[in-house]
Amino acid sequence: MQKRTLYITVLLFTLIYIISFVDRQIIAVLGVQIRDSLSLSNLQLGLLYGPAFSFVYAFSGIPMGRLADRVSRKGMICAGLFVWSAMTVVSGFANTFLMLVIARLFVGVSQSMLSPAVYSYLADAFSPEKRATVFSVYASGIFIGIGLSFLVGGSVSLNYDWNTALIVAGVPGLLLAPIVWFSLKEPERGEKKGGTGSSMLSDIREIVGKKTIQWHLIGFSSLACLGYTILGFAGNVFSDVFSAPEYIPQFGWFMFGVGGTVILSGKISDLLARKNPSRRFWMPIFAAVGGVPFYAAGLFAGSASVALAFIGCGVLISSSYNGVAAAILQYFVTSRQRALAGGLYLFVISIAGFGVGPPLTGWLTDVVYDGPYAVSYAIFSVVIACGIISVISFIQAIRYYETDAVKA
């Protein structure tokens, strides 16, 4: 492909990723309206936002990754985009909890088709020296999408209703799907060895059998646990600690900033790797420790405005790893294992992020800590624990990098 075409493709993938996170996150933004309109309990609302999407998304990622290593990645990306967009529109017409759950299940399965296919596509389309930068541009869509879900979804729901907001969120993907189909060209896959005739389980064993990948998954799942904890309980800090829920929507502005730090982290990672490839892990180490002082200042601040500023700055740093994480993994697998490795990575961080961080923080808040800053102590405990585990894991990963890396 021509260079210009490649970069247009990256921007197109990023736009798709933005749309996916708007459709994924908007349920949380509209949660209170949905709960009151359908007379749901908070437990039902939690199931709708969490397991109804995240668990099916996580468990579908591995088989979808395997499929993307064997069939057209272009076809999977287009099909996934169309289905989850259609299901988001369908959600806008839901009048029962069951209908919403079914629609969210389809959103989860179809969105699991996207990133494994994109990871494989980008890894084959770009040289190894540019992967962290390119993957980080794509990953910036996560936080732009989350920010838009707060700003656009919240605004539409306030002026109309949650049904209209879901329909508005789903329509752009339906319009974009045919454009993607006619714009994308399937790149040639890299070398043919590995993953061509072996079973999915044997390929998974080969991938996770490498020490670097083991420490990679532990380290980045810890960072995901930290990140989902902050996203899940930042609202509690503003509401419970400072009695200032009006600051919650403003937190969305920092998500746009994270999109920039993700790209910057990827670029720096590629520059560091010119002298020593294992230095790609330096930026994740920075993400693990760099945000800690800001979280300490923000979680225990004396006012909501100060808390917003410092917690927001902490997120800018600690979430900057997202593109680098997926890119690094590609250096340790063969071309025919790229999407499978991506699906495995998404499975691990989804389970750790949604399944460990938020429930643990909630338990610490209810049982271990008390007082007005109980949720702050709970969040900070998770931040410290995840930071320590991440740093240890990345230092270990650096030790095995040269041994485990697949020679280009």
Prediction pTM value: 0.82
Q: For 81-95, 164-178, 180-194, 213-227, which range has the lowest pLDDT when averaged over its residues?
A: 180-194
State yes or no: pLDDT of 340 exceeds 60: yes
Sign of CA dihedral 23, 25, 26, 31: positive
Task: Give the per-residue pLDDT at 232.
Answer: 75
H/E segment holding residue 56: helix 51-68
Are 208 and 217 spatial neighbours (Cβ–Cβ below 8 Å)? yes
CATH number, domain with residue 162: 1.20.1250.20
Alpha-carbon Rg for the chain in angstroms: 20
Lowest mean pLDDT segment, chosen from 220-224, 238-242, 333-337, 355-359: 355-359
Tens digits of per-residue pLDDT, 30-47? 877 888 888 877 667 767
Report how far apart, in Å, the C-alpha atoms of 198 and of each of 59, 77, 114, 202, 206 are: 21, 24, 23, 6, 10
Q: How many residues does the chain have?
A: 408
Spatial separation of the C-alpha atoms in residues 378 and 363, rounded to whole Å: 8
pLDDT at 110: 96
373: which DSSP letter? Answer: T
Structure-block tokens of residue 235: 């609202």
pLDDT above 90: residue 328: yes
Say what percent of the chain tops pLDDT 70. 96
Q: Check pLDDT > 90 for residue 379.
A: yes
Overall number of domains in the chain: 1
Structure confidence at residue 50 (pLDDT): 67
pLDDT band at 28 (very low <50, low <70, confident <90, very high): confident
Residue type at 237 in one-letter notation: V
Residue 192 pLDDT more than 60? no
The closest of 175, 125, 176, 158 to 335, measured between CA atoms, is 125
Side-chain-facing half-sphere of 308: CA atoms under 13 Å: 20
CA distance 94 to 100: 6
pLDDT at 1: 58
338 pLDDT above the threshold of 50? yes
Amino acid at 383: V
Mean pLDDT of the chain: 89
237: which DSSP letter? I
* pLDDT tens per residue across span 66-97: 898 888 999 999 999 999 999 999 999 999 99
Using an 8 Å Cβ cutoff, are 72 and 20 in contact? no
How many helices (DSSP H) and strands (DSSP E) are in the chain?
A: 20, 0
pLDDT-derived band at 195 (thresholds 50, 70, 90) equals very low
Mean pLDDT of 275-290: 96
Neighbours of 249 (CB within 10 A): 15
Are 42 and 172 in contact, with CB atoms under 8 Å apart? Answer: no
pLDDT of residue 358: 79
Helix, strand, or coil (residue 127): coil
What pLDDT shows up at residue 191?
A: 56
* Position 314, amino acid: G
Are the C-beta atoms of 258 and 157 separated by less than 8 Å? no
Q: Which domain range does residue 182 map to? A: 3-404
* Whether the predicted pLDDT of 196 surpasses 60: no
Q: Crossing angle of helices 282-290/292-299, nearest 10°?
A: 20
Q: Give the closest residue to 186 by CA, choosing from 71, 329, 83, 15.
A: 71
- Each residue's pLDDT tens digit, 121-176: 998 888 888 888 999 999 999 889 988 887 777 778 778 888 998 999 999 999 99
**What number is the average pLDDT over the span 290-310?**
96
Q: Burial of 368 by CB count in 10 Å (0-12 exposed, 13-18 middle, 19+ buried)?
A: exposed
